[in-house]
Amino acid sequence: HEKVNRRIADGTPFFSLEFFPPRTANGVANFFTRLDRFNEGGPVFVDITWHLGSDPSNMSKETSSSSIAAGCLNYCRVDTMLHMTCVQYAKEQTLKHLEQAKAIGLRSILALRGDLPPETSEESPKTVYQYRALDMIRWIKEAHNDYFTIACSGYPLGHPEAPSYRADLMYLKAKVDAGAQLIITQLFFEAEVFEQFVKDCREIGITVPIIPGIMPIMGYDSIRRIAKLSGLTIPENILADLEPIKHDDDAVRNYGKVKCVEMCRRLLQNKSAPSIHLYTMNREGNCREILQELGLWLKRPMRTLPWEPHGANHPIR
């Protein structure tokens, strides 16, 4: 939090990166090798999603959100924020998760409600509590005072379940008033959407940093799936651009990169964003190139990792 504020006060743009926990034990080794390389670029922090499928709090499982966050912090030595959802746990359980995060050494939590299971779900019904992110932020403050830096989510187009954009904005203000020190936004496709959101937040007295969550388009099917899951509509002009190239993965990735750089450059230049938070989807290529083009990637030479026989210049990189 202090590091973020210092960088914002300096006026030097920076970046942070979101990862989800890898799904397999093999994936864990690859994940940390990749993270080590990302670390060379100098992210101010990384954050790890709370992935229900990974049994997120289980420290004896190497693929759990908590184990991965512990590895990022204690092994890769990068400031790490752990996401945590509360809607599917009793309050006591969430308090245990927070204790555990403290024991690992974590100092930052992204406090979230979490998604409700779809009503049509054929899976066995899961217990869902009435808790929201606002409740969790209050619990963190009650139980841990200022120990944790608390971040919360923000929705530039309003959360799909919110009664209105305005109601969602007021709810965001309540989360900040309860103790959230940083807002990270849901992905969006147009710079104006974020600019307007920041303006609206400032107008109602939200003063904390608002960091845009940026998802570069990496694939035609994947971005459509993600947009659908997030309740977002991909703008017509982007769909029209993608239509003739949708079967050419390289062309789509390249388009995604160009669009992303263009949007981020605008947000950084007009100062609506102090930094860029990249949803990496655990992928390396596009993200690194985007950060390099934006001039955010530190120009440190790549380190040869001890377990890489061919070192930094190996062609598979």
Q: Closer to ligand FAD at the Cβ: 69 or 191?
A: 69
Residues forming contacts to ligand FAD in the complex (CB under 6 A) are 49-50, 83, 85, 110, 112-115, 132-134, 153, 159, 161-163, 167-168, 171, 184, 186, 213
Q: In whole angstroms, what separates CA 26 from the centre of its chain? A: 23
Q: Closer to ligand FAD at the Cβ: 182 or 242?
A: 182
- Can you list the alpha helix ranges (DSSP code H) found in 75-207? 91-104, 133-144, 165-178, 191-203
Q: In angstroms, rounded to a whole number, what is the distance separating the alpha carbons of residues 9 and 185?
A: 20
Q: Are 150 and 176 in contact (CB under 8 A)?
A: no
Does 195 qualify as catalytic in the annotation? no
Tokens of 18: 């979101």
Q: Closer to ligand FAD at the Cβ: 62 or 168?
A: 168
Minimum separation from the CB atom of position 310 to ligand FAD (A): 35
Minimum separation from the CB atom of position 45 to ligand FAD (A): 13
Considering the candidates 2, 18, 236, 243, report the single residue annotated as catalytic: 18
CA distances from 172 to 5, 186, 222, 287, 295 (A): 20, 13, 29, 29, 31
Q: Closer to ligand FAD at the Cβ: 214 or 242?
A: 214
Q: CA nearest 15: which of 33, 29, 3?
A: 3
Q: In angstroms, rounded to a whole number, what is the distance separating the alpha carbons of residues 101 and 103?
A: 5
Minimum separation from the CB atom of position 252 to ligand FAD (A): 24
Q: Closer to ligand FAD at the Cβ: 230 or 254?
A: 230
Tell me phi and psi for residue 213, to 5 degrees.
-85, 120
Minimum separation from the CB atom of position 161 to ligand FAD (A): 4
Minimum separation from the CB atom of position 313 to ligand FAD (A): 35
Burial of 275 (0-12, 13-18, 19+ CB in 10 A): buried
Q: Nearest-5° angle of CA 87, CA 137, CA 23? A: 50
The DSSP result for 232-278, as a single string, is ----HHHHHHHGGGTT-HHHHHHHHHHHHHHHHHHHHHTTS-SEEEE
Residues designated catalytic: 18
